[in-house]
Structure 1
Amino acid sequence: MSRVDKFLWSVRIYKTRTDATEACRSGRIKVNGLDAKPSREVKPGNILNIRKGSIHFQYKVIADVERRQPARMVEEYILNITPKEELEKLNMPRETFFLARDRGTGRPTKKERRDMDDLLDSVDFLYDTGEDED
C-alpha cells in the first residue's frame, strides 16, 4: 500500500508529488467515491476519481507501486476506466469568449468600453438559461 499522492506521482498522473498533494487537498481526488487526503492509502482494486479541469478521469488500481515508473510501465499499475463521454471532452473545441486588445493600445476609451459592455450583454443574452439569479 502507498499514499495516494505518491501513487498519483509514481504512475505519472501528476508531474510532481507536490501537484498530487495539492490536488488531494483541494478535493480533486476521490478514492472509492470518498475525498482523499494526501496520506490516504491506496491498494489494488481501489477506484480513483480525478478531476482535471472539466474532465473527470477514473482509474482502477491494478498493483501497488514502490517508486516512480517509466511511462511505458504505467499500464501495469493502473487501468483507465474513464467513460467515453468524459474522454470526448478532450477533443471538443474550447468554447471560450473573451475580448482581446492589441498590445500597446492603452486603456479603452469610454466609447470602446461601452461597446464592449454592449457586446458582453448580448453574449449573456445568448447563454441565458431562463433561471432567476436570486
Structure 2
Amino acid sequence: MSTSARLDQWLWAARFYKSRPLAVNAIKNGRVQVNGQRAKPARQISEGDTLYICKQAGLEFDVVVLEAADKRVSASIAQTFYRETEESIARREALQEQMSAAKAMVDFPNRRPDKRDRRNIRAIKHHREE
C-alpha cells in the first residue's frame, strides 16, 4: 500500500461517504479537518494523521488514520483503515441515547388515518388557514 492518499479518496475508500463528490463537498464545506485544520480535497494524508469528520448535526467522528488507502474495499476491511478515538465513541453513544429517549417521548399513531380521520385533519388545516 502507498504511504499517502488524497483526502477525498481516503474518505471514500474508508466508507465515510458513498461517493467521492460527496466527500469533496464535505471537505469544501469545512466538515472535515486534518490535524485540526481545514483541508482541500487533494490534501495528502498519511498514517498517524488525525481527522475530524462531521457527517450530520451531532454525528461526528474523530479518527486516526492507520492506513492510507485510495481503493474502495469491503466495509469490514475499510474499518481497518482508521481507529476512532474513545471520546468520539462516547459522544456518539451519548447522541444515540438522546435520540432513543427523544423517540420514546413521541407518541406515534398505531395506524394510518382512515377516511374520517383525513376529513377531520383537512377541516383543522382549512380552519387554520383562514
Indicate whether the TM-score tops 0.5.
Answer: yes
SS of the residue 1:19 aligns to: helix
Partner of 2:40: 37
Q: By how many angstroms is 1:80 displaced?
A: 1.4
CA distance in 1, matches of 2:124, 2:65: 53
CA distance in 2, matches of 1:74, 1:10: 7
Over the residues paired in the alignment, what is the CA RMSD in angstroms? Answer: 2.8
> Size of the alignment, in residue pairs?
109
Is 1:105 the counterpart of 2:122 in the alignment?
Answer: yes
Is 1:23 the counterpart of 2:39 in the alignment?
Answer: no
Partner of 1:67: 71
Q: By how many angstroms is 1:20 displaced?
A: 0.4
Would you say the 8 A contact 2:51–2:64 is kept in 1? yes
Q: Which runs of 5+ in 1 are unaligned?
A: 115-134
CA distance in 2, matches of 1:107, 1:8: 48
- CA deviations 1:88-112 (Å, max 9, x no partner) are 2034227599xxxx69838944x62
Is 1:93 the counterpart of 2:99 in the alignment?
Answer: yes
What TM-score, normalized to structure 1? 0.69
What TM-score, normalized to structure 2? 0.71
SS of the residue 1:12 aligns to: coil
Would you say the 8 A contact 2:9–2:70 is kept in 1? no
- Paired amino acid for 1:105: R
Would you say the 8 A contact 1:55–1:87 is kept in 2? no
Q: Which runs of 5+ in 2 are unaligned?
A: 107-117
Q: By how many angstroms is 1:68 displaced?
A: 0.6
Stretch deviating more after TM superposition (84-93 or 41-50): 84-93
Q: Go from structure 1 to structure 2 and tell me whether the alpha carbon gap of 1:113 and 1:15 turns closer, same or farther (over 3 Å shift).
A: same
